[in-house]
C-alpha cells in the first residue's frame, strides 16, 4: 500500500510502529541485492549486484544499523560505486530503518542533480521504496527535489555552500559526498563538514558516510579523515602464488609503446597478472587495516576508513588497465601538470601536493626568448587578445595558440592616457585600432584576433569598460571580471550588468594561475609551453618580473589550513594578468586546438559588404550584438566567422 493511500491516523500509527521497531538485521548490501534496481541510462542497468563490486560490500554493511561502526570514510577514484553505495543506503533507510537523513553535496546545484537524476530513479524503480515516499503533487512540500518525506522520516538534500541547508534539520544518518570539493567555510560559520556533523550529534546511534575523490593535499578533507581511521585497504590474492597485496600504480607494467600488453606484476612471485584474472581476485579479496599496532592509540574504534584506486574497477568497464596505461603514456609525454594532477586524483585516488611559496625565476623565462621565423609561427591556429585597464593606460597582449594550448606572444602594447578619455585620440580608440590589425601567418595569410577580453575589475573605470564593450560585444570584444572565489572554475560564469546590459564573463583567476604557473615550469616546447619573441622589445625584463609577481601560499584560520591564495610579491603584475586573461579567452572560444583546421584568413568582401563594413566601422558580424559566447560553452567556429 502506498503512503499517499493511507488515512492520516493509519499513516501515523504505521510510522510510530516503524520508529519503535528494532533495527533490521538485514544489511545494506543484502537489501540492495534483493531490491535495488539501476536505471536504463546506467552503465550496467537492471538489478543491482554487489558481487560486481565485491569491495563495496563491507563499506555498505558498515552503514547498516546494527553494525557497531558509526563513521565510514571512503577515499576513492571516480566511477567506483561510492555514491551508488550511498543511494543503496538511502533506499535501505526508507524501507527498513526509517529516520531523518541529510545528504550534502558540494553545491546546491549538485544536490539538485543527485536528487533528480539518481535518487528519483531509485524511488521510481524500487516499489518497496516508492510505496513509502509521499506522492509528488503540485504545491506539496512533502516530496520535492530537496526534500522527500516518507514513513518515519525525511530525506533532505543540500549543498555545502548553503549555511541554511546545513542548519535545516537534525538527522540520524548523514552522507557527505565529495568533501574535498566543499568550500573551506560557509557563510563565515565554519567548515561545512563540522556544521553538518552537529546535525547528528544528539543521536547516539548515528551513521556518517564521508566519501570523496581526493584533490589537493594542503586543503584535502578526505585524506586527514582517512588517516584518522583504521586505514583499511583491499588486499587481493595473486592468481599464481596466492600472495595477498594492495594494487598500486607502481605494479602496473607494460612494454614501451605497447600499453595493450599491460599486466600487474605480483610483488611476491613477479609474475605478470593479466587483467582478465581480476574478477576472481576481487571476489577473493578482503579489507585489512594497514595500521601498525602502535598506531591505534587515540583512534576511535567506531570509525572505519577505506582507500581504493581505479585498478580495482570491475573487469570490462571503461577504465581498463590498457586504457590507463595509454592515458598515462600520453600525459607523461606532454608533461601536462594539469592532466597529471587529474590522473593522480581521479585514478590513483591520491592527493596532489603543490609546492607552496615557490617563486619562479623570471630570468629563466627571459633567457628562453626566441627568434620567430615569421611574425606568426606556423603552429598558431587561433589568436586571442586581452586588455588590462590601469589608471593612466591600457595594456594589451595578443597570443597565438596551437595544439595542447602551446602559445606564442604576438604583441604587447601599452596605450597611454586616461581610460576616461573616450575621444579619437584616447587609449580606447588606439586599442580598437590595434584589435582590428591583421597578423601575417606564413601559410594562412592575414589572421585576425578571434576574441578579446577587457578586464572591468579595476573599479575606477568599470563604466568606461562597459561603455566601450557594450556596442562591440557581438563583434569579438567582451568584458571580464576576476572571480573573488579562490576555488572557482576557470569559466566561472556569466552575468549581465543591469543598467547597461553589458555581458560580464567571470574568470576563475586562481584556476588560471594554477595552470599558467604549472606550464611556465615546462622546459621544452610542446603542449602548454609559453613562447616569447626575442625580436620584440616590449617583452623586456620588467614584463617577465610581472609574470613571476605572485606565489601561492596557504590560508590558515584558527591554526588550520583552510585554503590557498596567490600572494603578490611585487606591486606590478600586469604581465601575469594578461596571461590569465588570454588563457581564459582561448578556453571560452571553445575551439579544440588539437582538431581545429578552420581557415579564418581575411575574407575578400564584395562591394556591398565593404560598404556595410564601412557603416559599422569595419566590424564583421555573424551574431547579434549581445550574443557573445556562452560561458563554459563550445561555440566552435561561429566565433571565427566574424
Residue-level pLDDT at 634: 34
* Same domain for 500 and 431: yes
In this structure, are residues 196 and 176 in contact, taking their beta carbons and an 8 Å threshold? yes
Tell me: pLDDT of 14 over 60: no
Residue-level pLDDT at 331: 87
Q: Is residue 258 in some structural domain? A: no
Tell me: pLDDT of 117 over 80: yes
Instruction: Give whichever of 5-9, 192-196, 299-303 has the largest mean pLDDT.
Output: 192-196
In this structure, are residues 186 and 160 in contact, taking their beta carbons and an 8 Å threshold? yes
Residue-wise over 420-452: b if at least 16 C-beta within 10 A, else e?
A: eeeeeebbbbbbbebbeeebebeebeebbbbbb
Report the distance separating Cα 128 and Cα 20, nearest Å: 20
In this structure, are residues 158 and 174 in contact, taking their beta carbons and an 8 Å threshold? no
Distances (CA, A) of 529 to 352, 406, 502: 21, 5, 34
Name beta bridge partners: 530: 407
Q: Is residue 264 in some structural domain? A: no
Q: Is residue 263 in some structural domain? A: no
* Same domain for 406 and 296: no
Report the distance separating Cα 208 and Cα 200, nearest Å: 8
As for how many domains the chain has, the answer is 2
Q: Is residue 376 in some structural domain? A: yes
H helices then E strands: how many in the chain? 20, 27
Tell me: pLDDT of 72 over 70: yes
* Same domain for 295 and 418: no
Report the distance separating Cα 78 and Cα 319, nearest Å: 10
* Same domain for 376 and 301: no
In this structure, are residues 600 and 573 in contact, taking their beta carbons and an 8 Å threshold? no
* Same domain for 443 and 299: no
Sign of the dihedral through C-alpha 178, 180, 181, 183: positive
- Mean pLDDT, rounded, for 51-61: 97
Residue-level pLDDT at 596: 66
Note the pLDDT tens digit of each residue in 302-351: 999 999 999 999 999 889 999 999 999 988 877 777 888 999 999 999 99
Q: What is the CATH number of the domain that holds 540?
A: 3.30.420
* Same domain for 389 and 520: yes
Q: Which domain holds residue 446?
A: 362-640
Environment class of 356 (CB within 10 Å of its CB; exposed 0-12, middle 13-18, buried 19+)? middle
Q: Is residue 280 in some structural domain? A: no
Tell me: pLDDT of 601 over 70: no
Tell me: pLDDT of 578 over 50: yes
What does 398-444 look like in DSSP terms, one character per residue?
Answer: EEEE-GGG-EEEEEEEEEES-TT--STTSHHHHHHHHHT--EEETTT
* Same domain for 304 and 411: no
Q: Is residue 321 in some structural domain? A: no
* Same domain for 529 and 408: yes
Note the pLDDT tens digit of each residue in 532-550: 999 888 999 999 999 999 9
Q: Could you tell me what percent of the chain has a pLDDT over 90?
A: 67
Point out the least confidently predicted range of 7-21, 385-399, 409-423, 492-506: 7-21
In this structure, are residues 78 and 310 in contact, taking their beta carbons and an 8 Å threshold? yes
* Same domain for 402 and 296: no
Point out the least confidently predicted range of 90-94, 278-282, 398-402, 480-484: 480-484
Tell me: pLDDT of 521 over 80: yes
Please count the other Cβ atoms lying within 10 Å of the Cβ belonging to residue 453.
Answer: 24
Please count the other Cβ atoms lying within 10 Å of the Cβ belonging to residue 199.
Answer: 22
Locate all alpha helices (DSSP H) within 24-139, ordered by sequence.
Answer: 28-35, 56-62, 82-96, 108-114, 120-125, 127-130
Q: Is residue 486 in some structural domain? A: yes
DSSP designation for 386: E
Give the model's confidence band at 461: pLDDT under 50 very low, under 70 low, under 90 confident, else very high: very high
- Mean pLDDT, rounded, for 613-631: 32
Average pLDDT taken over every residue of the chain: 86
Tell me: pLDDT of 167 over 80: yes
Q: Is residue 401 in some structural domain? A: yes
Instruction: Give whichever of 234-243, 285-294, 450-459, 602-611 has the largest mean pLDDT.
Output: 234-243
Q: What is the CATH number of the domain that holds 110?
A: 3.40.50.300
Residue-level pLDDT at 294: 60
Note the pLDDT tens digit of each residue in 172-199: 999 999 999 998 888 778 899 999 999 9
* Same domain for 161 and 28: yes
Tell me: pLDDT of 232 over 90: yes
In this structure, are residues 408 and 389 in contact, taking their beta carbons and an 8 Å threshold? no
Tell me: pLDDT of 620 over 70: no
* Same domain for 431 and 302: no
In this structure, are residues 456 and 431 in contact, taking their beta carbons and an 8 Å threshold? no
* Same domain for 295 and 423: no
Amino acid at each position: 500500500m502506498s503512503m499517499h493511500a493511507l488515512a492520516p491516523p493509519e499513516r501515523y500509527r504505521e510510522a510510530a510502529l516503524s520508529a519503535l521497531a528494532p533495527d533490521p538485521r538485514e544489511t545494506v548490501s543484502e537489501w540492495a541485492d534483493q531490491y535495488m534496481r539501476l536505471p536504463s541510462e546506467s552503465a550496467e542497468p537492471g538489478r543491482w549486484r554487489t558481487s560486481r563490486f565485491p569491495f563495496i560490500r563491507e563499506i555498505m554493511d558498515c552503514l547498516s544499523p546494527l553494525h557497531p561502526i558509526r563513521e565510514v570514510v571512503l577515499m576513492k577514484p571516480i566511477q567506483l560505486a561510492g555514491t551508488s553505495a550511498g543511494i543503496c543506503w538511502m533506499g535501505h533507510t526508507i524501507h527498513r530503518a526509517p529516520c531523518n537523513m541529510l545528504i550534502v553535496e558540494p553545491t546546491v546545484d549538485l544536490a539538485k542533480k543527485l536528487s533528480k537524476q539518481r535518487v528519483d530513479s531509485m524511488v521510481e524503480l524500487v516499489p518497496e521504496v516508492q510505496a513509502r515516499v509521499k506522492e509528488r503533487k503540485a504545491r506539496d512540500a512533502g516530496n520535492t527535489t530537496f526534500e522527500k518525506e516518507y514513513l518515519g522520516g525525511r530525506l533532505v538534500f543540500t549543498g555545502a555552500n548553503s549555511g541554511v541547508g546545513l542548519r535545516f534539520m537534525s538527522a540520524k544518518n548523514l552522507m557527505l559526498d565529495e568533501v574535498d570539493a566543499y568550500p573551506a567555510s560557509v557563510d563565515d560559520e565554519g567548515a561545512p563538514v563540522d556544521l553538518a556533523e552537529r546535525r547528528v550529534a544528539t543521536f547516539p546511534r548515528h551513521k556518517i558516510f564521508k566519501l570523496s575523490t581526493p584533490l589537493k593535499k594542503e586543503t584535502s578533507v578526505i585524506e586527514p579523515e582517512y588517516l584518522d581511521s583504521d586505514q583499511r585497504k583491499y588486499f587481493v590474492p595473486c592468481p599464481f602464488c596466492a600472495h595477498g597485496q594492495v594494487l598500486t600504480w607502481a605494479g602496473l607494467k607494460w612494454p614501451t609503446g605497447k600499453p595493450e600488453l599491460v599486466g600487474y606484476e605480483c610483488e611476491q612471485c613477479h609474475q605478470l597478472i593479466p587483467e582478465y584474472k581480476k574478477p576472481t581476485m576481487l571476489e577473493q579479496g578482503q579489507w585489512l587495516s594497514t595500521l601498525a599496532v602502535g598506531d591505534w592509540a587515540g583512534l576511535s574504534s567506531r570509525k572505519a576508513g577505506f582507500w581504493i584506486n581505479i585498478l580495482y574497477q570491475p573487469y570490462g568497464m571503461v577504465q581498463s588497465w590498457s586504457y590507463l596505461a595509454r592515458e598515462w603514456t600520453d600525459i607523461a609525454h606532454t608533461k601536462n601538470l594539469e592532466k597529471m594532477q587529474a590522473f593522480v586524483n581521479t585514478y590513483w585516488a591520491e592527493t596532489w601536493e603543490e609546492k607552496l611559496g615557490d617563486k619562479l625565476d623570471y630570468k629563466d623565462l627571459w633567457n628562453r626568448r626566441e627568434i620567430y621565423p615569421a611574425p606568426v609561427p606556423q603552429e598558431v591556429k587561433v589568436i586571442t587578445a586581452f586588455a588590462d585597464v590601469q589608471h593612466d593606460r591600457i595594456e594589451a597582449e595578443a597570443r597565438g595558440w596551437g595544439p595542447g594550448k602551446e602559445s606564442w606572444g604576438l604583441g604587447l602594447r601599452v596605450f597611454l592616457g586616461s581610460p576616461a578619455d573616450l575621444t579619437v585620440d584616447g587609449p580606447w580608440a588606439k586599442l580598437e585600432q590595434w584589435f582590428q590589425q591583421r597578423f601575417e601567418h606564413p601559410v594562412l595569410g592575414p589572421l585576425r584576433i578571434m576574441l578579446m577580453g577587457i578586464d572591468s575589475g579595476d573599479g575606477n573605470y568599470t563604466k568606461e569598460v562597459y561603455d566601450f564593450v557594450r556596442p562591440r560585444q557581438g563583434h569579438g570584444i567582451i568584458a571580464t571580471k576576476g572571480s573573488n572565489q579562490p576555488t572557482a572554475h576557470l569559466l566561472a560564469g556569466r552575468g549581465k550588468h543591469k543598467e547597461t546590459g553589458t555581458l560580464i564573463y567571470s574568470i576563475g583567476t586562481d584556476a588560471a594561475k594554477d595552470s599558467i604557473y604549472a606550464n611556465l615550469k615546462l622546459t621544452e616546447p610542446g603542449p602548454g609551453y609559453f613562447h616569447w619573441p626575442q625580436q620584440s622589445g616590449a617583452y623586456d625584463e620588467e614584463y617577465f618580473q610581472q609574470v613571476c609577481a605572485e606565489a601561492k601560499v596557504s590560508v590558515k584560520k584558527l591554526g588550520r589550513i583552510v585554503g590557498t591564495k596567490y600572494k603578490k610579491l611585487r606591486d606590478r603584475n600586469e604581465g601575469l594578468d594578461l596571461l590569465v586573461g588570454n588563457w581564459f579567452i582561448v578556453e571560452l572560444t571553445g575551439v579544440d586546438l588539437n582538431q581545429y583546421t578552420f581557415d579564418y584568413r581575411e575574407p575578400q568582401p564584395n562591394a556591398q559588404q565593404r560598404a556595410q563594413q564601412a557603416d559599422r566601422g569595419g566590424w564583421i558580424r555573424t551574431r547579434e550584438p549581445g550574443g557573445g559566447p556562452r560561458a563554459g560553452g563550445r561555440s566552435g567556429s561561429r566565433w571565427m566567422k566574424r
